[in-house]
Structure 1
Amino acid sequence: MKKYNIVIVGGGSTFTPGFLKSFCRMKNEFPLAKLVLFDIDANRQKPIGEYGKILFKELYPTAELIYTTDIAQAYTDMDFVFMQMRVGGYEMREKDEKIPLKHGIIGQETCGPGGIAYGLRSTKEMIKAIYDIRHYAPNAWVLNYSNPAAIVAEALRREFPTDKKILNICDQPENVVRSCSRLLGCNFKDLQPVYFGLNHYGWFTNMYDKNTGEDLLPKIRELVKERGFLPQDAEQRDKSWLETYGMVQQLMADFPDYLPNTYDQYYLYPSYKAKSLNPNFTRANEVMASREKRVFAECQQVIEAGTTKDLVNIHEDAHAEFMIDVAMSIAYNLNNRFIVIIENYGAINNLPDDGMVEVVAELGANGPSPMRVGNIPTFYKGLLENQLASEKLAIDAYFEGSYQKALQSLTLNRTVNDAKIARVILDELIEANKLYWPELK
């Protein structure tokens, strides 16, 4: 069986230790020759990399693990590139969240003005990264799950229209499926969803039992009404995530047709959500105060002891196993089904062909083959067309250096819907992002 070379871009992420554990656990299913951690922040990456070396020495001695800040060492001869960039780090995420909230508008990592700000930062670095990857590894698959995936996907579609080995993907629909399995008391692998939308803005129209063919959505609807909704790994989640999943109950009470992606709440209840968020202590602050400290402390504990045995229980997030499964489906031409982001071309019949939509697809060596969902109802079509236009205008602003397009993007976004507020927020975001954004005139 072939052994694969993989690089994780953003190797200093707190999600990386869980990824390393998943690679060790799945070594017989998807064997590695070499795993490289690549990050531009050497100090941040070092404790993660040292933890990984100890872990691999004990659990995966047949695979080489290195960490580096060198582009050539990171990308040369790679089979898969796992992209988890966070351009600007948590310092900029905090600004993305707090600037809009100061004006009564949702401050969120991927939705609203904060998502647009993050998207424009990510676009420049993602485009550069793809050119670097193609220089050193022309045939590598690029699996991008850097946020905000919808805006990044639109940028990469325009810059690399013929590159068929870039796959944009998000684990949040997968997390919702796994959370349904907790609610139903079944294995998540026995659930087969039907889904449509944009990234962080979609709905499950069906949730089939693979073994019986029964649509379990009616049962899910009743269980959510009775019990609420929790993430599969609720015991490891911060308070804000429990509140996010909890809003599914309200969403389904108001719009019972389908099961929502948890992020839908920001677009459907923008005023309520903005008022419920603390402008002085946002999600970025919560992560820095909890997950950041916990994961780095756990890694340091292993480094000081020189062993992982009986010391640490770093959580394996669902997205690690999910992304490895995606790579396996491509590598082995398994044609397993995943919810992925693709250029529409009729997957959702009554949305534009050039929209980057999120649907179920079979995934093999030739990439995704989407499962078409036909026409979607007017209410959902209207919501998605509005957001699709906002995202496209944001990328127009990037490529054209257009202040006007950026203003239109924010004004049109359902979380804003006010040109005067949009202009104030945009001007503050431009100042905050002057080291990252192109000049907008």
Structure 2
Amino acid sequence: MKLAVVGGGSTYTPELIDGFARLRDTLPIEELVLVDPAADRLELVGGLARRIFAKQGHPGRVVTTSDLDAGVADADAVLLQLRVGGQAARQQDETWPLECGCVGQETTGAGGLAKALRTVPVVLDIAERVRRTNPNAWIIDFTNPVGIVTRALLQAGHKAVGLCNVAIGFQRKFAKLLGVAPGEVHLDHVGLNHLTWETGVRIGGPGGDDVLPRLLAEHGDAVAEDLHMPREIVDRLGVVPSYYLRYYYQHDAVVEELRTKPSRAAEVAVMERELLEMYGDPALDEKPELLARRGGAFYSEAAVDLAASLLGNGGSPYQVVNTVNNGTLPFLPDDAVIEVQATVDGTGARPLAVEKPDPLYAGLIAQVTGYEDLALQAALHGGRDRVFKALLAHPLVGQYAHAEALTDRLIAHNREHLAWA
């Protein structure tokens, strides 16, 4: 089995490598190719990857290359974890929206649109090259904004499934609070990428007892603290929203918070420098503790599970993924990409039936889906007017004057990445 990771020079990658090494019986990789244009980072990460495999007795071979076509040739699956423009672009995404009184964040709002515009054309080019080299390869997208990127891939006819670590993070935290094994916890997870709610927490599978009311009654403070939201919000909702919902439910307070502290991009940039220095230490043969603060917790377990299922090596019977709606949420277009529990096998992902969401959630899901429609059109075809319409449609922008000002700022800060600008 050959697996290629495009964006393999990311500081995230050792988390992925650790999971591949530990879970080699689930996903028996014979060749792992790390692909990245940044040769200096790639060699640091690749060296650590080889040492992690060696320490844990993994027999697979780790190869590094800057040649995309060679890296993905004959791969059974290609995992995408790109950041077009690097941390410098992320710093901008988190900064200029604040000038207009809007949330500055790399995956949602105006910053998320900028990331989509930079990313979608690059990902589609990579996917076309994968298809030319190996049309049977599965593409696993971990590149944000996952929903929009996965939708672009699926609409272009690629064999793709989107992946996010939010759900598995909740599963692991809830299991710990409830004192059960993670595999016993099944989430009623519904929404779009980074716009989801846990409307049930079941023990034993989809038909199991819903212990969400008990979880909130006994551990509500811990859940709310993890979300960075007041417990009152969680109690009144009666569900567990994704922590990205704080940008919607507490927009103005979050804007003030973001204006008064260093950006997350600045914090991550410092961590990345420290991590890369660590990765260059020939004595290091395990992922460092600092990596846990970088983000992406449990990403490796989710990726192994998904790849194993897609490649016919087992995997969990139910997984939270980003895949095509096809009537699962009847108030959305069939070709919308939703994030829900699904069964996954060699033919792809099929969403489980979902109880119709409360209008409080369904309305926001529908509005953001409309934004994603417009965002994808802007990413595929360009043009100031398309960018403006996408921003006007986003609930974190929504006002004409804000959309006008943000359109100008977005284009000015991303001109080098926009072929049409």
Aligned-residue offset at 1:421: 1.5
Distance (Å, rounded) in 1 between the aligned partners of 2:27 and 2:362: 39
Alignment of 1:308 with 2:290, yes or no, is no
2:277 equivalent to 1:297 = yes
2:167 maps to 173
Asked whether 1:384 is paired with 2:365, we answer: yes
Q: Which residue of 1 aligns with 2:186?
A: 192
Q: Does 1:222 align with 2:225?
A: no
Amino acid at match of 1:217: L
Who is 2:233 aligned against? 251
Percent of residue pairs bearing the same amino acid type? 28
Aligned 8 A contact 1:350 1:374 in 2: no
Q: Residues 254 and 276 of structure 1: is their aligned pair in 2 closer, same or farther, counting only changes over 3 Å?
A: farther
Residues 398/61 of structure 1: CA separation in 2 closer, same or farther (3 Å cut): closer
The structural deviation recorded for 1:116 is 0.5
Moved >6 Å (runs of 4+): none
TM, length-normalised to structure 2:
0.93
Q: Are 2:56 and 1:54 aligned?
A: no
Q: What residue is the counterpart of 2:3 in the other structure?
A: 6
Q: How does 1:188-337 map to 2 (within 5 A)?
A: 188-210=182-204, 213-229=208-224, 245-247=227-229, 249-256=231-238, 258-278=239-259, 281-290=262-271, 292-301=272-281, 303=282, 305=283, 308=285, 315=291, 317-332=297-312, 334=314, 336-337=317-318
Contact kept, 8 Å, 1:333 with 1:365, in 2: the verdict is no
State yes or no: 1:141 paired with 2:138: yes
Tell me the distance in 2 between the aligned counterparts of 1:405 and 1:186.
Answer: 48
**Superposition deviation, residue 34 in structure 1:** 0.4
Partner of 2:34: 37
What is the Cα deviation at residue 347 of structure 1? 0.7
Summarize the Cα distance change of 1:219–1:206 in structure 2 as closer, same or farther, 3 Å threshold: same
Question: Is the CA contact (8 Å cut-off) linking 1:12 and 1:45 kept in structure 2?
Answer: yes
RCO comparison, higher one (Cα < 8 Å, 6+): 2
**Whole-angstrom distance in 2 between the partners of 1:182 and 1:107:** 32
Give yes or no for contact 2:116–2:379 (8 Å, CA) kept in 1: no
- For 1:17, which of 14, 24, 39 is the aligned residue? 14
CA contact (8 A) 1:248 1:260 kept: no
Q: Structure 1-normalised TM-score?
A: 0.89
Q: Does 1:422 align with 2:403?
A: yes
Q: 1:359 aligns with which of 333, 340, 352?
A: 340
**1:203 partner amino acid:** W
Change (3 A) 1:313 1:400: closer
Q: Distance in 1 between matches of 2:260 and 2:92?
A: 11
Deviation at 1:397, TM superposition (A): 1.7
Q: Structure 1: which 5+ runs fail to align?
A: 231-241
The count of aligned residue pairs is 415
SS of alignment partner, residue 405 of structure 2: helix
166-175 vs 274-283, which moves further: 274-283
Q: Structure 1 residues 333 and 300 mapped into 2: Cα distance closer, same or farther (>3 Å)?
A: closer
Tell me if the contact between 1:251 and 1:265 (Cα under 8 Å) persists in the aligned partners.
no
The answer on whether the counterparts of 2:100 and 2:402 sit within 8 Å (CA) in structure 1 is yes
Report SS of the residue matched to 1:35: strand
Q: What residue ranges of structure 2 are gaps of 5+ in the alignment?
A: none
- Contact 1:76–1:136 under 8 Å retained in 2: yes
- Is the CA contact 2:83–2:119 (under 8 Å) kept in the aligned structure 1? yes
| SS at structure 1 position matched to 2:189 | strand
Q: For the Cα contact (< 8 Å) 1:196–1:348, is it kept in 2?
A: no
Q: Does the Cα contact within 8 Å between 1:102 and 1:279 map onto a contact in 2? A: no
1:214-237 deviation line (CA, Å, top 9, x unaligned): 21110122134344446xxxxxxx
> Contact 2:97–2:406 at 8 Å: present in 1 too?
yes
- Alpha-carbon distance in structure 1 between the residues aligned to 2:368 and 2:122: 23
Partner of 1:368: 349
Q: Could you tell me which amino acid in structure 1 is paired with residue 352 of structure 2?
A: M
RMSD: 2.1
Give the distance between the partners of 1:61 and 1:372, measured in 2 at CA.
39
